[in-house]
Amino acid sequence: MNKLTSQTLQPNELGSSRSGHGIHPLSHYLKALMLSAGLLIMGLISVIATANEPVNINLASAEALAEALQGIGPSKAVRIIEYREAYGPFEHIEELAAVRGIGLDTVEKNRDIIRLQ
């Protein structure tokens, strides 16, 4: 019998014992997994809450527009600002569809959070 097969591990060598002292290594992974899941959920809640915040398309920065509006990334947000600088403030929400790359579907997805004043 070789050295490895003749040895047996005692409970405390595995990180736990019958008396409950010591921590099983698996519990570290479970705690880390639970913490990660909790942080992910908190992050998603934050994103969802931010997505529902009203945004004034006549005043908001490109960063704020890109964060708040579905289907609007940084380049389309810049186009919104360029449009309002060239033609003045938006008077109707539907005017947003006149910006290159933004269609009525995108306007409709965001209608509830778009503000003009």
- What pLDDT does 96 receive? 97
- Backbone phi, then psi, for 114, in 5-degree steps? -75, 130
Of 84, 114, 113, 78, the closest CA to residue 98 belongs to: 84
Tell me what the mean pLDDT of segment 97-108 comes to. Answer: 97
Domain extent listing, the chain: 13-50, 55-115
Rounded Cα distance between 76 and 102, Å, is: 7
Of 25, 28, 18, 101, the closest CA to residue 65 belongs to: 101
pTM of the model: 0.57
Q: Is 29 within 8 Å of 23 (Cβ atoms)?
A: no
Residue 114 DSSP one-character state: E
pLDDT (tens digit, 9 = 90+) per residue, 65-74?
Answer: 999 999 999 9
- What pLDDT does 108 receive? 97
- What pLDDT does 73 receive? 97
- What pLDDT does 107 receive? 98
CATH 1.10.150.120 fits 55-115, yes or no: no
Mapping DSSP onto H, E and C, the string for 30-72 reads HHHHHHHHHHHHHHHHHHHHHHCCCEECCCCCHHHHHHHCCCC
Residue 16 confidence class, pLDDT cut points 50, 70, 90 = very low
Tell me what the mean pLDDT of segment 69-84 comes to. Answer: 98
pLDDT (tens digit, 9 = 90+) per residue, 30-72?
Answer: 777 777 776 667 665 544 544 578 999 999 999 999 999 999 9
Rounded Cα distance between 32 and 66, Å, is: 33
Residue 108 DSSP one-character state: H
* % of the chain with per-residue pLDDT over 90: 54
- What pLDDT does 106 receive? 97
